[in-house]
Amino acid sequence: MVLGLSACGQQETPVGLNETAAQTQQASQMQEREDEAKVEANSEAEIEAKIEALLAGMTLRDKIGQMLFVSYRIWKEAPKEVEGNVTVENAAEEVPAGNVTALNDEIRAALRENHFGGTVLFAENYQDAEQTLRLIADIQETSVAGGGLPLLVATDQEGGNVARIGFGTPGVGNMALAATGNPDNARQMAYIYGEELSLLGVNTDFAPVLDVNNNPRNPVIGVRSFSDDPAKVSSFGLAYLSGLHEAGTIATLKHFPGHGNTDTDSHTGFPCIQSSYEELQKTELVPFQQAIDAGADMIMTAHIQYPQIETGTYTSIATGEQVYLPATMSRTILTDILREDMGFEGVIVSDALDMAAISENFETEDILTLTFNSGVNMLILTIVTNADLFQKTQDMVDMAVQLAEDGTIDAARIDDSVRRILTLKQKYGLLDQTDFGVTEEQVKAATSGVGSDANRETVWDIARQAVTVVQNKEQAFPLQFAAGQSALILFADSCASRVGTGEQVKELLQEQGYVPEGAEITVLVNSAENEEDCVQAADKADHVILVYRTYGKANLDPNTGDGFSSAVFDRIIEERHAAGKQALLISCQLPYDAARFPEADAILLAYNSSVMREIPPATGAGSAYIPNLPAALCACFGYGEVKGQLPVELPQLDESYQFTEQILYERGEAALK
């Protein structure tokens, strides 16, 4: 056969040979896929068999233990008797509490005997990297030595003002991440959290928050939410989820089915949302559904009443009135909606059961029964802060076992939950982990990696991207700070604990050359006693930056103790305008106070801040701090480019300082882009 040449001088392959080669390649690829499918099927069958064998070998108490998260936060002993009937000098005197940074005998015995599924660590448990490594290793070793399984070790490392690890990288918080307009910042931030948690031995993060903050009166979510727009929450939430997964960390979506549209904190009250299922599907459930579709492993419930969805009621032990069963206790919400309608196959964990919404309204026996039977797979029990609460937790375990033994708690629910828990642990390699010894290499990696200079530099960069200017009259921002001039940074009473930030920024600006020759920056805090001093200082200064912190709606009302500084700020702005001068305002927490000071010449939003009463140690040492407010203050002096965009709508206030339906600043708004 003579083969022809193509126009490029290459031999052409007859069509028949092309088809044969393609068919052979296709057949080979099909065989490879079939072989991979068989291996995967065999692997899945092996895992399923392993899990069933573990389940079959468990006692009822073992199974109940797997369904429980315990938290030993603070330990305080009750006064003890000495020498017969003689007690300590004052039996009523409280024994000083100590943070649980190492296991005591009582906690060790509880871990050995109950085979808990998980533990939750709080700020009190974290002292430094090495101590944390050894504490977690001891928890795991104690559980396994007692015949249990490795635990899910969880913490709330959301970022911003909910970051438990004081020596780690705190991040900027979710709303600030959304203000950058770049979801990859959320992915990068979450990866840092996951990486640092892994270095310490923490395998589960109770994040991301997927609540849509569509109620500006919300006292507990606020800047913990990415936005009031479900699409934006979804975009940044999925990026955050991806970052944690890249770091090998179990992520936890919260608070299902949504805590954003409340005006009550479930830690202290019992919120109620009057939304229908159809309304939730259009807003609150959108981010959850997208994250479920993306492979989320764990979801945390909300202690919130939804009377348009769950109509079951309970007689409150506090008031004697009928309350609706919250989502945590609702089979309709957790089984019918989350499992069946939304297709979630992972682990459902309750929010802490000692929060007021639950503990003040329900009997302990009913808390356990209703929560287990609603479809919750893991319960966060009473958070231990003293020996009495430790005993209460032990009693709750015993009660749960008894309720399961007499059939009050559905046995099928228990087995289903434990299968899901074991499947999750297997997926993240926990069931195969046997050695929890701490090596010098681990200590070195944790001490150098957690809160590293590189991570903090990344967060500083993100914080600067997040700063948002929503108003800038006559180019008041940035300040034209000239030689010999004076600038006043005045903190409202509501953010007095942040005053160290002003001093820190003052030093930083001097180091970076942003303080001209002979210029001076003064930092003051307004209090109930020094109004005149603050006004006079503002009158004398060439430039004034007012820093306000709103953490609740009372901060907006000058007639309240929480809001009296707002009246002082009003006066300062008015008097400076009368003198032909300008005033800048920085909102350093909830952005809704931007609507409180519309007369300010420039308004900046930082979306978060942290306590800093004095200048912290140098970067890489000591406690971490949230960089949002320092970034905003630096920007006022021209240090840093401002490109943030508003991630929520800011409603106008009426004459009584209440939110109206009128939107003053639209989502996406920015005076500088």
pLDDT 10s digits, 550-599: 998 899 999 999 999 999 999 999 999 999 999 999 999 999 999 999 99
Q: Where are the beta strands (DSSP E) in 247-385?
A: 250-256, 298-301, 313-315, 322-324, 347-349, 379-384
Q: Where are the beta strands (DSSP E) in 173-273?
A: 204-205, 250-256
Contacts of 424 (CB under 8 A, 6+ apart): 152, 250, 297, 298, 346, 347
Q: Report the chain's mean pLDDT, rounded to a whole number.
A: 90
Q: 64, 403 in Cβ contact below 8 A?
A: no
Distances (CA, A) of 358 to 105, 265, 269, 271, 362: 30, 12, 9, 11, 6
Distance CA 522, CA 525 (A): 10
Is 90 exceeded by the pLDDT of residue 89? no
Is 70 exceeded by the pLDDT of residue 40? no
C-beta atoms surrounding 137 within 10 Å: 16
Is 80 exceeded by the pLDDT of residue 465? yes
Distance CA 259, CA 265 (A): 9
What is the strand order of the sheet 298-301 is part of? 347-349, 298-301, 250-256, 204-205, 152-155, 118-121, 68-72, 379-384
Ordered domains of the chain (ranges, CATH): 69-76+97-449 (3.20.20.300), 467-665 (3.40.50.1700)
Q: What is the pLDDT of residue 611?
A: 87
Mean pLDDT score, 451-466: 95
- Half-sphere exposure (CA, 13 Å, Cβ side) for 232? 24
User: Is 115 in the active site?
Assistant: no
Distance CA 234, CA 212 (A): 9
C-beta atoms surrounding 278 within 10 Å: 9
C-beta atoms surrounding 135 within 10 Å: 23
Q: 170, 109 in Cβ contact below 8 A?
A: no
**Which entry of 211, 229, 351, 601 is annotated as an active-site residue?**
351
Distance CA 475, CA 291 (A): 42
Q: What is the pLDDT of residue 172?
A: 97
Reported as a single tens digit per residue, the pLDDT across 140-184 is: 999 999 999 999 999 999 999 899 999 999 899 999 999 999 999
10 or 532, greater pLDDT = 532
SS3 348: strand
User: Is 351 in the active site?
Assistant: yes
**Which entry of 267, 336, 415, 461 is annotated as an active-site residue?**
267
Split at pLDDT 50, 70, 90, the class of 447 is very high
pTM listed for this prediction? 0.90
Q: Copy the structure tokens of residue 18.
A: 């092309």
DSSP-assigned letter for residue 459? H
Closest to 180 in 3D by CA, of 455, 463, 478, 592 = 463
Q: Which one-letter amino acid corresponds to residue 27? A: A
Q: 473, 602 in Cβ contact below 8 A?
A: yes
